[in-house]
Amino acid sequence: MYDPRYPVPNLGGQNQPFDLAGPMDQTSIENRSDVLIFETPVLTETVETVGRIWGNLFISSNCTDTDFTIKLTDVYPDGRSMLVTDGSLTVRYRYNYSSEVFMSGNQNDVYELLIDCWSTAYSFAPGHKIRVTISSSNYPRFATNPNTGAPLARDYLNANIANNTLLVGPLYSSS
């Protein structure tokens, strides 16, 4: 469930004031019920990632528009979950940013999203874990979506609570 009146706050990242930018610890927001967590086992060797990072999600929603956000974090042995990179997509712009294509609002309809998390060069050390978190907000880095089709960051008196679903498994290879 995603309620735009109570968005997941962002901690660190790009395009923030200097004192709020960078790789901040995400653990305080990762235990929310509107945040999904996927992580590797403890790494036994260094894992390097260089280049563009994309998230490929298969989703459904009871709303005609919503957002999906992805964060890639490095989980240290002491439990800190440090932001590496993140990305967000407003579903109505899933094909391009010059045309709006809304969803049906039927929870049974499935949509594929490709979310750009930008480029990075990062080494995950042995003893650490790689974590991916998925939610529908990362505010104020990205404007909250009222789930109505109205312009972003507006229409909160009429905002819809979205029942957003991430599909995983043999039929839908979200990655």
pLDDT at 23 over 90: no
43 within domain boundaries: yes
153 within domain boundaries: no
pLDDT of residue 141: 84
12 within domain boundaries: no
Question: 17-47: b or e for each residue (b if 16 or more CB lie within 10 Å)?
Answer: eeeeeebbbbeebbeeebbebeeeeebeeee
Q: Which domain holds residue 104?
A: 18-147
pLDDT at 5 over 80: yes
pLDDT at 71 over 90: yes
pLDDT of residue 155: 65
71 within domain boundaries: yes
pLDDT in tens, 122-166: 999 999 999 999 999 998 888 889 999 887 766 677 899 999 999
- Enumerate residues 6+ apart whose C-beta is below 8 A from 168: 58, 174
5 within domain boundaries: no
135 within domain boundaries: yes
Mean pLDDT estimate for the chain:
92
In the chain, the number of structural domains is 1
Global pTM exceeds 0.95: no
pLDDT of residue 12: 75
Length of the chain, in residues:
175
What CATH number should be reported for the domain holding residue 101?
Answer: 2.60.120.260
136 within domain boundaries: yes
Question: What's the number of CA atoms in the CB half-sphere (13 Å) around residue 145?
Answer: 25
pLDDT in tens, 31-43: 999 999 999 999 9
121 within domain boundaries: yes
Contact 31, 135 (CB under 8 A): no
